[in-house]
Amino acid sequence: MESRDVPLTEGGLPLPPSPAPDWALFLDVDGCLLDFAQHPSQVVVPVHLQRDIVRLSDLLGGALALVSGRSLESIDEMFGELRALPAAGMHGLERREPDGRRTFPPIAPQALDGVYAEARQLAMSHPGAIIERKGPNLALHWRAAPEARDALRAFAAAALRVLPDYRAQGGDMVLELRPGGSSPDKGTAVEGFMAQAPFRGRTPVFVGDDLTDEHAFSIVNACEGFSVLVGDRHPSAARWRLPNPAAVRDWLARATLGAHDGVHA
């Protein structure tokens, strides 16, 4: 699966092949399907994207899932037509299984309320910084306030002293406080889906852009699947690449247009 007799992107990794009928396809959301916005609530879902995802899911026999750092509630608010699809939210802390069953995240410790309040106070000193509460997770964003990065990182380090069972997970201009230990991640989410129909026995493919997607890339590589990085972040375990979310959307759209030839575009 690693033939280099294919077009290379500027990042040196090959472009992924068109989706095949035996794939199990896992798609990150922000920075992958959707372009980033200054605030997570401001992202725009292109009108054709949901249609293309539904069609591709049908072509893959339902073996398509969204795997995101967002909550399932947030995913469903953005992708109303995809509420029946399997999905993992909060980096795998919650899941909607193919049969509709839900896995819920753990209850947040009471101490997180105080940390959240203090984080919001800190953000007021850095216009553009965003504090996002996601169940038991707390995300500190500085995309619209790059100068707030060091202050938010220092705050996160201090917060871990009152949240001893938590860890800090880095991302693209964000640091997320989340339950630590053996808590799920995007890699375990992929493993969970691959253990059941309609994903079982298929070739796993994960498309993502962020550090949090590396867990999934490693799992997919171990299964001889396709790990597809969106963007040019280095280093990465990904072995294939698409340059940006627009290229991802075009890749998906071309696959659905080629449906009369199987799944290949």
H helix runs in the chain, sequence order: 47-59, 72-78, 111-124, 149-159, 186-194, 214-222, 245-257
Q: What is the pLDDT of residue 183?
A: 79
* Burial of 243 from C-beta contacts in 10 A (0-12 / 13-18 / 19+): middle
Model pTM score: 0.87
- Identify the active-site residue in 28, 30, 76, 209: 28
Q: What is the pLDDT of residue 11?
A: 57
Block means of pLDDT (10 residues each) for the chain, 265 residues, are 43 89 98 89 89 96 97 94 95 95 92 98 96 95 96 97 93 92 89 98 98 96 98 93 97 81 45
Q: What is the pLDDT of residue 136?
A: 94
Distances (CA, A) of 137 to 13, 15, 100, 186, 248: 33, 34, 23, 15, 28
Which structural domains are found in the chain, ordered by start?
23-105+183-261 (3.40.50.1000), 111-179 (3.30.70.1020)
Q: What is the pLDDT of residue 39?
A: 77
Does the annotation mark 28 as catalytic? yes
Q: What is the pLDDT of residue 4?
A: 35
100: left (phi over 0), alpha (psi -120 to 50) or beta: left
Q: Cα dihedral angle (71, 75, 77, 81), rounded to 10 degrees?
A: -150
Give me the sign of the Cα torsion angle 168, 170, 175, 178. Answer: negative
The tokens for 151 are: 């202050």
Q: What is the pLDDT of residue 262?
A: 44
